[in-house]
Amino acid sequence: MTKVLAMNLQKLSRLDLNLLVSLQALLEEKSVTRAAQRLFITQPAMSRVLQRLRHQLDDPLFTRTGNELVPTPKARDLQMRLPELLENILEMVSEGEFDPAAYVGEITIAVPEFVAISLVSELTKVVTQYAPGVILSISSETDSVEGELADGVLDFAIDIEKGITEDISARNLAIFTPSIWMREGHPLAKKSRVTLDEILEYPFVQYYLLISKRVSARTDARFDRVLRDLGRKRKKAMVTNQLMTAMETVCDTDCLMVAAKYGLTMEREMYRIVRKRYPQELPHEGTISLVLLQHNRTSGSPIHQWLADKVVGLMREWDKDLAADSAAL
């Protein structure tokens, strides 16, 4: 070990090598949005990475001209040296490629039930074929997603996109559009569009999309907040985080439910559901983004990276079905 390297080990220990990968993407794409898409993370997450880079390297790194990032002199210097450095690191860590079949252990994932029904069986097929030593531990309940990721209780969580800490990365999975669900034979089922007055005549089942520990009628969903802004309110007949309970209730009563097309085989084969677009009186239908959350502590783990890539691949296939189905509503 050289004397210079020995003196700077402490400084190097504070540098996250993932930042250099992000910097390379920013230098190549010259756009925060495109760099985020390149690395399968959200745009806000990439913006936070850029702030960390600026702090670590004590330089603005980029200025903005129109829609393009222009590198500073220091960033241009790094642009000349960074590719060779990353190639050397890749060559070093690629010696003896990771074999998922050799891994033995448990991976814990918190998944909302409406996602788990479509995802987990497909993910299990992949894991049993290529990584038979992995045991998937699946749950839809947690006291705190971020807390349990930080403590190592969870390896991954699939959740609705929201503000997260810098220690947790988020990869985009799918986007879906909410709609109004009702049973076939419901008095509103044959209408081409429903009005706000019409749907508020019926009670609602409030199904919790989020990973949660407890449910409460006092907790307002986004739909309730939109109604409140309009001076309106819906009647809730039931709140639940149990998808099949919600589905059975909607199919056996005149209750309505705000939900989406989840790509569920269960919905098509077991339940006769009619879906309607949001009433035109509402400000907008809106979309909800799902993300895969992972603590940065496990970002360098080969098995975590392998499994995350499999989840992203499966969910993106699912997202194509969601997009096609939303267009057909």
Residues 108/139, Cβ–Cβ less than 8 Å: yes
Mean pLDDT of 49-55: 89
> Token digits for 211?
């990973």
Phi (first) and psi of residue 258, to 5 degrees: -85, 115
Q: What is the largest CA-CA distance in the chain?
A: 81
Mean pLDDT of 247-251: 92
How would you label 72-81 residue by residue, b for 16+ Cβ within 10 Å and e otherwise? beebeebeee
- 249: number of Cβ within 10 Å: 19
Quote the distance between the C-alpha of residue 137 and its chain's center.
Answer: 18
> Token digits for 309?
């890539």
* pLDDT 10s digits, 70-105: 999 998 998 998 888 888 777 666 655 678 888 888
* pLDDT 10s digits, 111-168: 888 788 778 999 999 999 999 999 999 987 777 888 888 888 899 999 877 767 788 9
The answer on pLDDT for 266 being more than 70 is: no
> Terminus-to-terminus CA distance in the chain, angstroms?
65
The answer on pLDDT for 235 being more than 90 is: yes
Cα–Cα distances in angstroms (integers) from residue 291 to residues 107, 157, 163, 273, in the given order: 18, 8, 11, 27
Q: Which domains does the chain have, with CATH numbers?
A: 10-93 (1.10.10.10), 100-173+289-328 (3.40.190.10), 179-286 (3.40.190.10)
Residue 329 — pLDDT band, cuts 50, 70, 90? very low
Residues 185/324, Cβ–Cβ less than 8 Å: no
Percent of the chain with pLDDT over 90: 31
Q: What is the DSSP string of 205-269?
A: EEE--S--S---TTSPPHHHHHHHHTT--PPEEEEES-HHHHHHHHHHSS-EEEE-----HHHHH
Local structure of residue 28 (DSSP, 8 states) = H
Q: Taking the model in full, what pTM does it have? A: 0.62
For residue 299, the model assigns a pLDDT of 84
For residue 309, the model assigns a pLDDT of 93
One-letter amino acid identity for 43?
A: Q
Cα–Cα distances in angstroms (integers) from residue 176 to residues 3, 234, 287, in the given order: 56, 23, 6
Residues 23/61, Cβ–Cβ less than 8 Å: yes
Q: Which range is least confidently modeled, 166-170, 234-238, 259-263, 313-317?
A: 259-263
The answer on pLDDT for 109 being more than 90 is: yes
Residue 284 — pLDDT band, cuts 50, 70, 90? low
For residue 10, the model assigns a pLDDT of 61
Residues 247/117, Cβ–Cβ less than 8 Å: no
> Token digits for 4?
């210079």
